[in-house]
Structure 1
Amino acid sequence: MLKEVNWSVSRTYRSETECEPYQFYSDALIQSKSLDLLLGYFSSATISVLSGGFAVFLSSGGIARIVINDVLSDQDKHAIKQATQREAALFPIDLLNVKGLRKTLDDYGRHFFECLSWLIANQRIQMKIIRPKNRRGISHYKSGIFSDGIEQVGFKGSCNFTAYGLLENLEEMDVYLSWENGRSSQWINNQAEYFQKIFSGDADFVEYLDVNAVTVAIQKEFGDKTIGELLIEERELLERKRKFFENPLLQRTFDKVNAKLEYIIREPRFPYLDGPRAYQIEAYERWRKKGTKGIFAMATGTGKTITSLNCILQEFKKNSSHTYHALILVPTITLVDQWVKEVRSFNFQEVFKVSSKNDWQNELTTLVSTSKRISLSFIIVSTYASFVKDKFRRLVNDLPEDTIFIADEGHNLASPIVAEKLKGFKLQKRIGLSATPKRIYDPEGTQGMERFFDDREPYTFSFPMEQAIKQGVLCSYYYFPHIIRLAPDELSRYIEISNRLAKLSRFKRSPENDIIIERLLLTRKRIIHKATHKLPTTIDILTHQFQERGNLKYTFVYVPEGESFEIREEADELVADNIKLINQYTREIAKIDDNILVNQFISGMKDRQEILDQFQSGVIDVIASMKCLDEGVDIPRAEVAIFCSSTGNPRQFVQRRGRILRNHPEKDHAVIHDLVVIPDYTERNLDADTYALEKGLVKAELERVMHFASLSRNPYNAEDVFKSVCDYYDLNVYSIQNELSAV
């Protein structure tokens, strides 16, 4: 903050004294959020001279507004012209990479001017070019205001904002501190009003110019004496910058800037310049108010990971020991890697992975042992499967008490294996993450999760999909369910199993009967899951899309997969039956047209990121996947999804819907096709028990369908598709929807 700077006691800065103009600019830049400069001559070489300070300023979200006269170097004119033509928008700058930014700003070569163009084009540096109206002469201001968002520091002096003015001339400037006295505060207020009048375009005493009207400073026009004072020799001056910083009077300031740079390079921070969204701030505040324990019920795609990591960040900022401690549990190894990537985006340096694929034991044992004596930072990301192992549990027991415990897909905590290991769990700072905390199909998991996190509906923080779509966090979508009928042989087997289940339901429950019922339910589930007619329906949908759009770009196809896994590090897709299915779907999709490029995306592939990148760029048109795309993969460019899987797991469908609803600048909405298996009832006479059993199954499917439809752009389409089904089973879609709302 600006109040923390040791400003010149006299509030004056002069060349060749202990308080140089360079020192003022550097001290002010590294503490500011905004800078308004009212200038005469301007040269971007000054930004290069002050590269360290400007790198800190820009990476902290700072915005500079600059008014300049109509004399520029040829390079600066070209850079501004590029920016006005938006050519620089193609040149990416990572403002959070303060080390790389400083290097670019220090260079003053081609890369520097590309960087300057990008900063102007993206309004990190905003410029107005002026000259006096109806008068000869030029704009010759030399004043400005720095602000940290609370306090301001103003200055006025003789120094042009050029490298020559900063490095060579004998210059002086007077400084005004907003908190110091009424005179300084009044000067700053008057200066701010005057600057705003000019910058807003409302000043009737100046003429506003575009870059084409700028006069390029050249030796022929200005003469040798003026050249040194203006712009032409600044490249040579920059070569003398190193010698300039050898001045012992300036070394202290230079060291201070470098120290600030090193601090920012190592300091944990939010990964986006705009900071956390309002709802992410609210989530943290509610969690704190709840006693740092609770569930975050957040729709897939709304940033559960970022929201929970922001809690670690905010706790770190409040920690007097300046350390962070966290233990994060996730279902799969793939998610371990994805969480680690997100953790590192916050610039947390000490990150440890725990899974069957990592040799973690020695490193983590040393860490935990050392942390008992010295305050060390760490974030451990582990699979649930590794968490339940005794050798890891012993280490967890020795973690510091302020360690934040985050459970991704927190329902896993209720599994018997994990629940047993959580007895006597001492970590009290807890966050449970789930898109669907309240699960009708999993009451035990819901209750276990709620007990562990001491939370109930509406939960510590909720951010449902409806709210996310309304606020533009997720894009809107069209939803098209398609009824799939079973093939004759499938239907015959399905009827046989249903009849046996109906008979068994009449008997008193027993362990033996429960085992038989469970086996029959699984067999019937596989019939529905792998229904033969799903593939031709999928091809019909894609063929229609291709005829309508001329391509199949940005399309996901969720192919039916085999088993469903819970506490497993890797959901193995590479079983023979699964390989056969995904190969079959891939071949048939590719046959639609020779120009369609379709790729599989399954566990164990080494080139998965390359496939995703090619999909994002449109090289690959269609991705066929099973479970892999459920694992937190972020592909905002995806526009169309076909759900061929019928696992009976509503959570999976909710996750997949969230995957397709990520926002992208070139994406207005998403389209979801959902293949719903309904047995052919038209030619069947069902007994009362079988009818009741099937009615329950159909109702369960319609609950998911109506939930999807209710948030879509075309909510009434589903009602039309299922009208005859509802009539046969005496079901009402509105009653189903009301029941869902009441849950």
Structure 2
Amino acid sequence: MSFPDHNIKSEYRSLIDNVVQDFYLPILGDAICYKRAVGFFSSSALAEISKGICKMASHGGKIEIVASPYLSEEDMKAIQQGYQNRETYIKEAILRQIREEDVSDDYYTLERLNLLTKLIEDDILDIKIAYTEKNGGIGMYHEKMGLMEDSSGNTIAFSGSMNESATAMEVNYETIDVFCGWKSDYERDQVALKKKAFDSIWNDKECGIKVIAAPEITQALIKKFQRQAPVSFRLDEEQFKKDKKSATRVATENPIGARMPEEIQLRDYQQAAVAAWAGSNYRGIFSMCTGAGKTISGLAAVAKLSQDLNDCLATIIVCPYQHLVEQWVEDIVKFNIKPIIGYSSSSQKDWKKRLEKAIRDQRMIPKKSFFCLVCTNATFSSAFVQEQIDKIKAPILLMVDEAHNFGAQRIRKLLDDRFTYRLALSATMDRHRDEEGTAALYNFFGKKCIDYTLEQAIRDGKLTPYKYYPVVVYLSDDELEKYSEISSEMAKHIIQGRSGNAKLDSYGEMLAIKRSRVVAGAIAKISELRKQIEPYKNQNNILVYCGATNILDEKSDDSDVDSGDIKQIDAVTHMLGNELGMRVARFTSRESIEERTTIKEKFQDDGKLQAIVAIKCLDEGVNIPGIKTAFILASTTNPKEYIQRRGRVLRKAPGKSYAEIYDFVTLPRPLDEVPGLTIEQANRDVSLVKNECARMQEFAAQALNGMDAQTLIWDIQEVYHIETIEDVGVEAEFAKEIKSSD
């Protein structure tokens, strides 16, 4: 084959592309000439060069390598002070390096170096040393470029950040740009320029660069690495695979830090996310919808950084609740990590001692420099953990799951320069009605490395398509009266915000929560649920979501429940279990982690458990992919919460071609009563109506039957004379209600 027969990309990135398999091996196999200018000279770099050149060497190809010596500050000083001839000194420095360099005793590495000695003896491989000269001093030659030519005269040039080393090819975030001389005038010109530059350097004619032949160095290589003459040039692709497998085995027999497990293959967008994060100095945000693989993506990033830093890394993984810590642990251990599990009732009763020991060992024993703490938000915020973090000397990676919670004022104060590397994971990074907290998160973690939406995930087949059914219920007379009373009281607690906008004071915010609970606990939901769920009473994989979610308590390891939530969940559980005869279990923070694990197992075992009735703790991160039908009674107005609840239902599972979501939409009164209301009465309904419509619109946008819900939205807008339904916030909308009523 000639070069044009290959599918050659214009750019290769090491964390997205397999540069060796996709570029080096196939192209060098058809080359007759390989010219390479690399960074520092080393035996390991020469071993990497052997990959792909064996076939070329077998039919008489020629290899020319220009490399730069590695010189210490003492070497540079000695040369500049003229203690001896600089060329002689440089050669002696490299000879010393060859003699002292530790090279892997892996069979295939030694065999490759043995092969290189044969190539040198047969004048197939030639090595020259380059350094720069300026103002009487010397410097290192760092240019990284290469040229390949086939038997038909087709030439490829490439340049970029990649060295000829195993680390560059397989671990680091590296990029090369490729130019094919036959594709366009521009690429032909680029090839010609790089060929001219290389030849000028090779022949020691490039201004400012000094190049010296080094037969003493090639003889030293032969002396150190020649074991026996290779029978033939058979270190081909198959042996490269063996080489890689062997290296992987050696690296993972007793690894210290995080490693990607062989059984996990990252999806393209996950690879791109990790690559972008590494390219942003290991800081950024993975904005990925629920079910798109945030956890695995985050752990892949940990493995990447751990290897890049030679495992000199302290990793702290933080998530909101205890049950999410345990869920993380299930995946963490797959990545060759033995986590310290930190929270109030951890199964590791001595986790504090383990953390202290890990930090102490990291300071004293370099080979024990990697450790990982996974903990809750509350544990991370504790005085003990903060004191321990202050003692860590190694670089720290802080990875926060459901990172929107860290925008809260109290906990965001802990985000500081102690954490060199940072990664935030969240399906909904922007905080609801909290611009200051959202800005603080972006300022600390950096930009989004990926924004993988629910629409993309469904389109790519990563999440299940769904049908959406809004179920309209109305407040009872008593509930409507209570709702109106609270609204009137809220009107007395409107204040002017810093930006000049109207907002509620702290007591007004408490009243707003109280009013939202009236909506969440509407009594009509129970009877309507019975009507909607009865056709499913003989089916499995059902979730019923009760209650309203409180704001996260940063001092608590777990979510709490309100008395109103308990009242609703008791009524639902009684109705499903006693009246409809379904096999049902509650899934709340009051059940222990062990009990919840058993519930999940029975739920996924067809027939043992038909339905789960849940409060709060399914909002963030809990993975129960078998859920096929969800009845959402909790009428939250926070997009973060209802988007997460939808995500619980859309995870892929065997036999699940689509999911169904029944969303209980609460309106103040039947639509046919609205035309008879006074302006003041109608205005008091508007914030509730808009919030419910905003959620319906979000759910309907990606639903298979979304137009049905959209028709209902239009009907509601028409009755209430609402032109737009964007979420402007409870405070601003309520202020508008009061103003229009005056």
Q: Smaller-chain TM-score range?
A: 0.5 to 0.7
Q: Which residue of 2 is the match for residue 318 of structure 1?
A: 308
The counterpart of 1:730, out of the listed 721, 724, 728, is: 721
Look up the match of 1:526: 517
Distance (whole Å) between structure 2 residues aligned to residue 510 and residue 292 of structure 1: 38
| Partner of residue 703 from structure 2, selected from 704, 712, 724 | 712
Give SS of 1:310's match: helix
Cα shift at 1:275: 1.6
Secondary structure of 2:699 counterpart: helix
Partner in structure 2 of residue 583 of structure 1: 570
**CA deviation profile, 1:299-342 (whole Å, cap 9, x unmatched):** 011111111110011122333x3454311111112222122221
The answer for the alignment partner of 1:451 in structure 2 is 443
Q: Which moved more, 1:555-564 or 1:279-288?
A: 555-564
- Report deviation, 1:408: 1.3
Residues 412, 445 of structure 1: 8 Å contact kept: no
Q: Which residue is equivalent to 1:279?
A: 269
1:469: which partner in 2?
A: 458
Task: Give the distance between the partners of 2:233 and 2:574, measured in 1 at CA.
Answer: 72
Which stretch of the first structure deviates more once superposed, 266-275 or 477-486? 266-275
With over 3 angstroms needed to count, the CA separation of the structure-2 counterparts of 1:289 and 1:700, relative to structure 1, is same
Partners of 1:589 and 1:703 in 2: CA distance: 30
CA change 1:722–1:354 in 2 (3 A) is: same
Residues of 2 paired with 1:268 and 1:478: CA distance? 40
Question: CA shift at 1:27, angstroms?
Answer: 8.1
1:261-340 aligned within 5 A? 263=253, 268-271=258-261, 273=263, 275-319=265-309, 321-340=310-329
Q: Residues 271, 600 of structure 1: CA spacing in aligned structure 2 closer, same or farther, 3 A cutoff?
A: farther
Which of 361, 368, 389 aligns to 2:382? It is: 389
Match of 2:428 in 1: 436
Closer, same or farther in 2 for the Cα pair 1:721/1:711, shift >3 Å? Answer: same
| 3-state SS, counterpart of residue 381 of structure 1 | strand
- % identical equivalent positions: 28
1:488 maps to a residue whose letter is D
Corresponding residue number in structure 2 for 1:599: 585
**Partners in 2 of 1:626 and 1:488 — Cα distance?**
26
Q: 2:357 aligned to 342, 350, 366, which one?
A: 366
Q: Which residue of 2 aligns with 1:514?
A: 505
Q: Is the 8 A contact 1:331 1:568 kept in 2?
A: no
Distance 1:463 1:487 in 2: 41
Residue 145 of structure 1 corresponds to which residue in structure 2? none
615, 623, 634: which one aligns with 2:603: 615
Deviation at 1:347, TM superposition (A): 2.1
Write the distance in 2 (CA, Å) between the matches of 1:449 and 1:395: 23
**CA separation of 1:369/1:693 partners in 2, compared to 1, >3 Å: closer, same or farther?**
farther
Q: C-alpha distance in 2, partners of 1:539/1:731?
A: 32
Match of 1:607, SS state, is helix
1:664 match: secondary structure: coil
8 Å contact from structure 1 (residues 295, 433) kept in 2: yes
- Output the amino acid matched with 1:497: I
Q: Give the 3-state SS of the residue equivalent to 1:392 in structure 2.
A: helix
* Partner Cα separation in structure 2 for residue 711 and residue 510 of structure 1: 33
The one-letter amino acid paired with 2:524 is H
| Alpha-carbon distance in structure 2 between the residues aligned to 1:648 and 1:614 | 32
Residues 312 and 395, structure 2, Cα contact 8 Å, conserved in 1: no
Q: 1:264 to 1:641 in 2, by over 3 A?
A: farther
Native 8 Å contact 1:326 1:403 kept in 2: yes
> What is the rounded CA distance, in whole Å, between the counterparts of 2:539 and 2:668 in structure 1?
30
TM-score, with normalisation over the residues of structure 1? Answer: 0.60
In structure 1, distance between residues paired with 2:558 and 2:502: 29
* Counterpart secondary structure, 2:687: helix
2:406 to 404, 413, 421: 413
Taking the aligned partners of 1:479 and 1:401, their CA distance within structure 2 comes to 50
What is the identity, as a one-letter code, of the residue corresponding to 2:421?
K
Aligned residues: 493
**Match for 1:354 among 342, 347, 354?**
342
Is contact 1:571–1:627 with CA below 8 Å preserved after alignment?
no
User: Structure 1's 477 and 411: CA in aligned 2 closer, same or farther, altered over 3 A?
Assistant: same
Distance 1:586 1:513, change over 3 A: closer
Superposition pairs for residues 32-181 of structure 1, below 5 Å? 178-179=234-235
Report the TM-score when normalising by structure 2.
0.60
Alignment gaps of 5+ in structure 1: 6-25, 32-173, 190-255
- Partners of 2:710 and 2:426 in 1: CA distance: 29
Kindly tell me: are residues 258 and 724 of structure 1, through their superposed partners in 2, closer, same or farther at Cα, counting changes over 3 Å?
Answer: closer
User: Would the aligned equivalents of 1:411 and 1:448 in 2 still touch at CA under 8 Å?
Assistant: no
Contact map agreement 1:329 1:384 (CA 8 A) in 2: yes
Whether the 8 Å CA contact 2:494–2:503 is kept in 1: the answer is: no
Which one-letter code corresponds to 2:509 in the other structure?
A: E
Using the alignment, how far apart are the partners of 1:693 and 1:506 within structure 2? 18
Work out whether residues 561 and 573 of structure 1, in 8 Å CA contact, stay in contact via their aligned partners in 2.
Answer: no
Uncovered stretches (5+) of structure 2, i.e. residues with no partner: 1-19, 26-46, 51-105, 112-229, 240-245, 730-742
Q: Which residue of 1 is the match for residue 371 of structure 2?
A: 378
Cα deviation 1:451-499 (Å, max 9, x = unaligned): 21133xxx22111111111111111111111111011111111122223
**Displacement of 1:177 after TM fit?**
5.2
Q: Determine the structure 1 residue equivalent to 2:468.
A: 479
Cα displacement (A) at 1:688:
4.6
SS in 2 for 1:641: strand
The structure 2 residue matched to 1:427, chosen from 390, 408, 419, is 419
Q: Deviations over 1:99-143 (max 9, x none)?
A: xxxxxxxxxxxxxxxxxxxxxxxxxxxxxxxxxxxxxxxxxxxxx
Q: 1:268: how far off?
A: 4.5
- Compared CA separation, residues 176 and 656, structure 1 to 2 (3 A): farther
Partner Cα separation in structure 2 for residue 175 and residue 704 of structure 1: 72
**Root-mean-square deviation (Å):** 3.7
Query: How many Å separate the matches in 2 of 1:403 and 1:418?
Result: 18
CA–CA separation in structure 1 for the residues paired with 2:685 and 2:621: 34
Deviations 1:356-393 (CA, angstroms, capped at 9, x unpaired): 22443222122212212222211111222122222211
Matched AA of 2:505: D
Letter matched to residue 660 of structure 2: V
**Displacement of 1:616 after TM fit?**
0.6
Pair 616,271 (structure 1): closer, same or farther in 2 beyond 3 Å: farther
User: 1:609-660: CA deviations, max 9, x gaps?
Assistant: 1211111112100111112222422121110111111232221111111111
Q: In the alignment, which residue of structure 2 is the partner of 1:694?
A: 685
Aligned amino acid, residue 356 of structure 1: S
Q: Counterpart of 1:50?
A: none
Q: Secondary structure at the match of 2:533?
A: helix
Displacement of 1:721: 2.6
1:634 aligned onto 2:620: no
Q: C-alpha deviations, 1:390-414, integer Å up to 9, x for none?
A: 2211211232443211111222222
Say which SS state the counterpart of residue 326 (structure 1) adopts: strand
Contact 1:284 1:311 (C-alpha < 8 Å) held by counterparts? yes
Q: Label 1:572 to 1:415 Cα distance change in 2 as closer, same or farther (>3 A).
A: closer
In structure 2, give the amino acid aligned to 1:598.
V
User: CA offsets, 1:244-269, max 9 Å, x none?
Assistant: xxxxxxxxxxxx99975971888844
Alpha-carbon distance change, 406 to 693 in structure 1, aligned in 2, over 3 angstroms: farther
- 1:496 alignment partner, one of 454, 479, 485: 485
